[in-house]
Chains A and B, each alone.
Chain A
Amino acid sequence: MSTKDETPEFGRSFRVPHTVRSLIYRAGLWGSYGVLFLILGFPVYWMAQNAFKTRLALEEAGISFLPDAASFTLENFEVVMNPTVGRYLLNSIIVSAGVVITVIVVSLVAGYGLARFQYKYKVRIARFLLVGYMFSPIVLAIPLYLIWDTLGLLNRYVGLILALSAISLPFAVWLMWKYIQTIPASMEESAWVAGAPRWRGFLDVIVPQTKPAMIANSVFAFAIAWGDFTFSYILMPDDSATTFPPGIFRLFHSSWETGWTEFMAVSLLVSMPALLFAFFLQSYLLQGFKIRAL
């Protein structure tokens, strides 16, 4: 029992006046807020600030914490017009769009099946799919390299779209399954009674109601496809076929001419979708994380 005296518990045995306690609590809360805000916000701010700076200003004046009118410029964004960078961006857009469409369609169908049909081994299959998260992209991409090479899928959009969709799908299916379960089955049944075939009921009753889950899924799938480095680095070895992340990585390591301001400009541009999604679709995204135990 001596240990109890040495380490007094907070609260009951450790009487501090209420006002002091609440003051400490508030200070801790807002202090934490400030620190976290600074840690998370500063790099993003720094990227944005330098994206609008002339290269000369960065090299001459060095570090300045506030943007000023004299060094403001938009010409860094012309790097997007550069055929190489433009090509990377175009490839990224095509691949991301393909992945998002595949993921939405397949996860809707599979989620509906999991929620509405009672078939053998259902839960086991779903769990088994989630185990896919244990596979490292590098563990999969190294064997895939030769398989894709044999099938002629290296440097093809289809190859990368398939690989990235398969990575996003287990989570997307799981989310869609749980989401469709919350839609009352009677809504669909009333459509059947009115004479609609099953697929009509699915399309007209279920699909419109799964909008939040579809948004969450598409944002996550987009984030995976848009940000993926490992798969595209290995499966798209050709410089003209590659997507943005490996492309810019190679560019960064091969050229000494492109300056930091240009890299920051293109970085800002590429992270804009992330910023917009984060700001406008927060509640949908948070819904995606409500998945409980595996």
Chain B
Amino acid sequence: MAIDTESVERSRRFLEDGFSIGRVEITSEDFWGWLTILPVVILYTIIALIPIGFAFVASLHNVPLLNPQWEFVGVENYVNVFQIDRFWGSMWRGVVFMVGSTIIQMSVGVWMALVINKITRGSRILSTLVFTSYLIPTIIVTLMFLFMLDPYDGVLHAAGIQLGLWDGFLLGNTSLSMGAVIIISSWKFSAFVTLFTLAQLQSIPDRFYEAAKVSGATTWEMFRDITLPRIYGAILVVIFLRAIFMFNKYDIIYQLTQGGPGTATQTMPILAYQETFSTGAYGMGNTIAIVMFLFLLVTGIVYLKYMNPSQEVQT
């Protein structure tokens, strides 16, 4: 009995006061707090931090994928990567894809959110569709659109031919394929913007609109003075997230065109993949990955600094 209580006492003392290793004091709050978040931190380290570090090390080496003999070459990969034509081309196409799809997604997404929020009947059906397009796997979206654009049985293909918009397979057209890829990926990813904006819209209290109505404001004025300032902060965050996601987008472009025809839709992630697994130049692939990462990091920091989306209206 006596021993029992003593051990309980000791554990209780530990629970309440914490302990110290040498001169570092660790309170019990620190200990338990860190213990709870430890699994996430470990996973995150394994999946994100170590690979980034590994990629950086690999980018300094010449690594043929099939025969992993690492040969240290220093910054030679970086020098080479900036000299190859397809790097600058893919950088440019990546930026076109990023800017184009972000603009389309932002306008369609916000428009859609406003409609869903204002509509009195049938909003559930439309928002179900929005959620569906967000949750549906990318490969399904790809198959759906490849089917609709199929030169033999495709309904969109037939419509486009009828209207004279394109002839032949749309995604095989060098000048139109980038536009097509942007529009198809916007079909899927506008939903993200819609959901984000909709959540903000629904948190605006009704009394604001009632007060505005009483003082005789028009719908437009209510939108300008109540709705817009409220969703402005969220929109800035969404632009940031969308731009990053779209610049990094690999799957939908690869599934639709594999970077082709030629290099018409070869953005940077595609180039990185092809360098690594088609060319087998693992070091070079990692160099491109690191350059991408740094580019986004710098752009992201500049954006956050100048737009400051974390400062927003509170309810």
Given the complex, which residues of B lie within 8 Å of A162, measured CB to CB? 43, 46-47
Q: Provide the main secondary structure of the chain B interface.
A: helix
Question: CB-nearest residue of chain B relative to A273?
Answer: B135
Interface string of A105-144 (1 = CB under 8 A from B): 0110110111001111010010001001111111110111
Complex contacts, A117 vs chain B, CB 8 Å:
29-30, 32-33, 36
- Chain B contact-residue range equals 35 or more
1/0 contact string of B20-47 vs chain A (CB within 8 Å) = 0000000101101111110111011011
Closest to A149 in B: B68
Contact A166 B44 (CB under 8 A): yes
Contact yes or no, A46 B220, CB < 8 A: no
Any chain A CB within 8 A of the CB of B155?
A: yes
Nearest-CB distance from A188 to chain B (Å)? 14
A40-B126, A136-B293 are contacts. A119–B33 as well, Cβ < 8 Å?
yes
The smallest C-beta distance from A26 to any residue of chain B, in angstroms, reads: 10
Residue A193, interface by CB 8 Å: no
Complex Cα–Cα for A287 and B44 (A): 25
Would you call B233 an interface residue if the criterion is a C-beta within 8 Å of the partner chain's C-beta atoms? yes
Interface residues of A in 218-269 (CB under 8 A from B): 219, 223, 226-227, 229-230, 233-234, 244-245, 248-249, 252, 260, 263-264, 267
- Grouping DSSP codes into helix (H, G, I), strand (E, B) and loop, the A interface class, with mixed when no group exceeds half, is helix
* A142-B273, A274-B136 known; A264-B129 Cβ under 8 A: no
Is the Cβ of A289 less than 8 Å from the Cβ of B199? yes
Which B residue sits closest to A65, measured CB to CB?
Answer: B155
Most chain B CB within a 10 A radius of its CB, from A143, A245, A285: A143
A83, CB-defined interface residue at 8 Å: no
Decide: A44 near B132, CB < 8 A? Known: A245-B138, A260-B150.
yes
A109 and B40 alpha carbons, distance in the complex (Å): 10
What are 22 A-B contacts with C-beta separation under 8 Å?
A37-B125, A40-B129, A62-B153, A114-B37, A117-B30, A117-B33, A129-B40, A135-B48, A135-B293, A136-B269, A136-B289, A136-B292, A142-B282, A143-B286, A165-B43, A245-B139, A245-B251, A260-B150, A263-B143, A278-B130, A289-B198, A290-B199
Q: A223-B134, A260-B150, A270-B137 are in contact. List 15 more A-B contacts (CB 8 A).
A: A10-B218, A32-B115, A36-B115, A43-B145, A44-B133, A119-B27, A119-B30, A134-B297, A142-B272, A170-B40, A244-B139, A260-B147, A267-B140, A275-B128, A293-B233
